[in-house]
Structure 1
Amino acid sequence: MIEVKKEGILLSQSELEFENEGILNPAVIRDGDSVHIFYRAVQLWNQSTIGYCRLDGPLNIAERCDKPIIFPEFDYESQGVEDPRIVKIDDTYYMSYTGYDGVNARGALATSKDLVTFTKQGLIVPPISYAHFVYLVESAGKVNENYYHNHKFYYQESDPDEKILLWDKNVVFFPRRINGNLVFLHRIRPGIQIVSVKEIKDLTPEFWQDYFLNFQSHIVMDPIHQHESNYIGSGCPPIETEHGWVLIYHGVEETDNGLVYSACAALLDLNNPSMELARLPEVLFKPEHEWELLGAVNNVCFPTGAALFGNTLFIYYGAADSYIACASLKLTDLVNELLANMKNTEESSIVDKKDKSPGAHKLKKTTKKPKK
């Protein structure tokens, strides 16, 4: 039994120009008793930068910067740097984020040695069109047919000549090398995929060509439950336990009240995280309070960072794309619940009922501008 406590709103927008439209979706990393938060700050016309604050302990604000620490500098992020996540690997901090240029939203990376000065490494996802993606994936054999359901987004009737590249977002690194490699999750709708490379420089056009020709083998999770039936995406950096990597991710369901974003949980194999071991059949938590139900985007709990204090896991999330909130739970309770569901994950697949193709159910592996 998992008891989730909603700690409430942690941070709200201020009157400062760079965050006067809202704050959301924080990257979080603990250092001693301090929790560093790098959050998406939105100003007028939906332009985003990254703001910063520091907590003493998991919930007490100690300091907050009055200007952004990361902001658009290059064409690929000219209209916003969005939705960061952060981990420390060896002696380097890796901050992944989404660069938005007004048309395309794609995963990018910045690195730091001290959490003060960040060096941008550029885009780390493939710069290909949706049509090229479909061509490569189909060349290797059919996957879950829902990967082909995005054509109306990429070929919009209102502007058929607009060049929309493949949207590849929610880049989230594992907090250590695995088998000597840097490993990160990313999201091409509707599922979550995985990448493993020795170094970032290895993400060449040739790498991505081979990756998509073997796309099925890189899909970690596809939607299977009703609360995630539209799509899923990486959330917080994975949390290492003796039983596997705990992944807090978001699931999206289309309802009569629009899309609903909920926090969900799964367990991945420690040495081969492309293998899903378990998944909760119900949401971990969902929008229920007014500040989660009503905002810039309604019905949103969007987890992006976590900090562990003792056995209590604090999950930081964007609420209704307007606030940063926090929920807490006992990590051992979550792991035990995941372990209890290891044999039940395949039983309630909504996708499996619709699509028997390889990849529709892959568990045997050893609204504004869409914002998520």
Structure 2
Amino acid sequence: MPDQLTPAGATALASSKTTGPARGKLAASPAAIPWQERPAGVKDVVWRHSANPVIGRRPLPDVLGIYNSAVVPFGDGFAAVFRLEDRTRFPRLHMGWSDDGLQWHIEPKPIVFDNRPGDGDEISDYAYDPRVVKLEDKYYITWCGGTNGPTISVATTTDFQRFTRLDNAFLPHNRNGVLFPRRIDGKYFMLSRPSDNGHTPFGDIYISQSPDMIHWGRHRKVMGRGGDEHGLWWQRTKIGAGPVPIETDDGWLMIYHGVLDTCNGFVYHMGAAILDLDEPWKVAYRCKNILLAPEADYEVFGHVPNVVFPVAALCDQEQDRLAVYYGAADTVTCLCYSRLSELISYIKDNSLVF
């Protein structure tokens, strides 16, 4: 890919219409989520945005990548927490604002937290792969941060102007911390993937619960990697939760990534499962098929080739629309779409729980 601004990246940089101070109207009408109809002749249950990547690798000067980022409705538009990497390749979180979820104003300076929790432990400033969820009267940001190794960091905000960190949710080493959008039986729930200190060659999805967003326990395994015995290879190395789970009549829709180890490195794919509404550690349906594989040039070529990494989802259940943001090749930010009802049916019709 060319080492310069794409048209989407140029638009994101030039836009002055959607800046941080203009946001903050919590009671405003929600904006329509991004959407494109399925292209003619395409039969896949998930299809790509025609102008991907929606944000190119150089949205700001000296930025070399923007990917694996979270988007959430806010006011009459959208807010985002982006993973940006500059010429040091050190990952930081930056705020972004958009009226339509496609053209973005990205803050040039990283998020600054108004506190540093902990009792003597050094808290690392690195931050990557964020998720954002509206939960009761606050927005919660979770990301891979670190204290003595990578783990799940947590912060809150009400306006995306001031950010307060909580203590890290878990011990090292852990990644892909994803909160549910409401309490279940009075408890908060979070998905995660225990890992190691490197580029983990293993990983299963676990769920933990908390009465107060501070004390986390009752850790249960939700789903494991694997599938070789069933003739499935695409998720045999590791799996990890993606966007915030979506509540449906059939259960919690959990979009996730599944990784295959090959002779040329890891390959990341998009998959999905449906978890029980009341006991979300129980898998009701698990799609045996890949929903999206790295095939487009911007997914195959980049800083880390062959990566489709879903992180955020916007859902309009009345319109039966689902828009999923994903990182491509650890370089750019992309979008794909699906009809929610079709996706649920496809998962159920192609389910293999193991």
User: TM above 0.5, one fold?
Assistant: yes
In the TM superposition, residue 186 of structure 1 has moved relative to its aligned partner by 0.5
User: C-alpha separation between the residues in 2 aligned to 1:305 and 1:288?
Assistant: 20
SS of equivalent residue, structure 1 residue 122: coil
Which stretch of structure 1 is more off in the superposition, 70-79 or 254-263?
A: 70-79
Which stretch of structure 1 is more off in the superposition, 258-267 or 40-49?
A: 40-49
Question: How large is the Cα RMSD of the aligned pairs?
Answer: 2.2
User: C-alpha separation between the residues in 1 aligned to 2:75 and 2:161?
Assistant: 17
Change (3 A) 1:335 1:70: farther
Q: 2:185 aligns with which of 179, 189, 203?
A: 179
Asked if the contact 1:76/1:99 (under 8 Å) is kept, the reply is no
Asked if the contact 1:291/1:319 (under 8 Å) is kept, the reply is yes
User: C-alpha separation between the residues in 1 aligned to 2:115 and 2:146?
Assistant: 11
In the TM superposition, residue 279 of structure 1 has moved relative to its aligned partner by 1.0
Q: Deviations over 1:244-289 (max 9, x none)?
A: 0000100000112210001110000111100101111111101111
Matches for 1:335-350 after TM superposition, within 5 Å: 335-341=344-350, 344-346=351-353
User: C-alpha separation between the residues in 2 aligned to 1:117 and 1:93?
Assistant: 11
Residue type of the alignment partner of 1:119? T
Residue type of the alignment partner of 2:234? H
In the TM superposition, residue 45 of structure 1 has moved relative to its aligned partner by 2.7
TM score, norm. by length of structure 2: 0.77
Matches for 1:216-235 after TM superposition, within 5 Å: 218-223=220-225, 224=227, 225-235=232-242
User: C-alpha separation between the residues in 2 aligned to 1:340 and 1:315?
Assistant: 21
Corresponding residue number in structure 1 for 2:6: none
Residue type of the alignment partner of 2:349? A
Corresponding residue number in structure 2 for 1:193: 206
Q: 1:26 aligns with which of 57, 69, 93?
A: 69
SS of equivalent residue, structure 2 residue 92: strand
Asked if the contact 2:64/2:86 (under 8 Å) is kept, the reply is yes
User: C-alpha separation between the residues in 1 aligned to 2:237 and 2:280?
Assistant: 23
User: C-alpha separation between the residues in 1 aligned to 2:104 and 2:88?
Assistant: 30
Corresponding residue number in structure 1 for 2:321: 312
User: C-alpha separation between the residues in 2 aligned to 1:246 and 1:32?
Assistant: 25
Asked if the contact 1:47/1:79 (under 8 Å) is kept, the reply is no
Corresponding residue number in structure 2 for 1:241: 248
User: C-alpha separation between the residues in 1 aligned to 2:301 and 2:110?
Assistant: 26
User: C-alpha separation between the residues in 1 aligned to 2:352 and 2:306?
Assistant: 26
Structure 2 unmatched runs, 5+: 1-42, 195-201
Change (3 A) 1:15 1:285: closer
User: C-alpha separation between the residues in 1 aligned to 2:127 and 2:113?
Assistant: 6
Q: 2:136 aligns with which of 90, 105, 108?
A: 90
Size of the aligned set, in residue pairs, is: 292
Corresponding residue number in structure 1 for 2:39: none
User: C-alpha separation between the residues in 1 aligned to 2:114 and 2:139?
Assistant: 19
TM score, norm. by length of structure 1: 0.73
Residue type of the alignment partner of 1:110? A
Confirm or deny that 1:10 pairs with 2:85: no
Structure 1 outlier segments of 4+, above 6 Å: none
Asked if the contact 2:66/2:331 (under 8 Å) is kept, the reply is yes
Matches for 1:98-137 after TM superposition, within 5 Å: 98-100=144-146, 104-126=149-171
Change (3 A) 1:232 1:245: same
User: C-alpha separation between the residues in 1 aligned to 2:322 and 2:265?
Assistant: 30
Confirm or deny that 1:55 pairs with 2:93: no
Asked if the contact 1:58/1:307 (under 8 Å) is kept, the reply is no
More helix by share: 1
In the TM superposition, residue 339 of structure 1 has moved relative to its aligned partner by 2.2
Residue type of the alignment partner of 1:196? Q
In the TM superposition, residue 37 of structure 1 has moved relative to its aligned partner by 1.6
Residue type of the alignment partner of 1:28? V
Corresponding residue number in structure 2 for 1:253: 260
User: C-alpha separation between the residues in 1 aligned to 2:163 and 2:326?
Assistant: 23
SS of equivalent residue, structure 2 residue 129: strand
Change (3 A) 1:3 1:33: farther
Asked if the contact 1:190/1:231 (under 8 Å) is kept, the reply is yes
User: C-alpha separation between the residues in 1 aligned to 2:138 and 2:115?
Assistant: 22
Q: Deviations over 1:186-230 (max 9, x none)?
A: 001421000111112223xxx5xxx5xxx6xx0000023310000
SS of equivalent residue, structure 2 residue 289: coil
Residue type of the alignment partner of 1:253? L
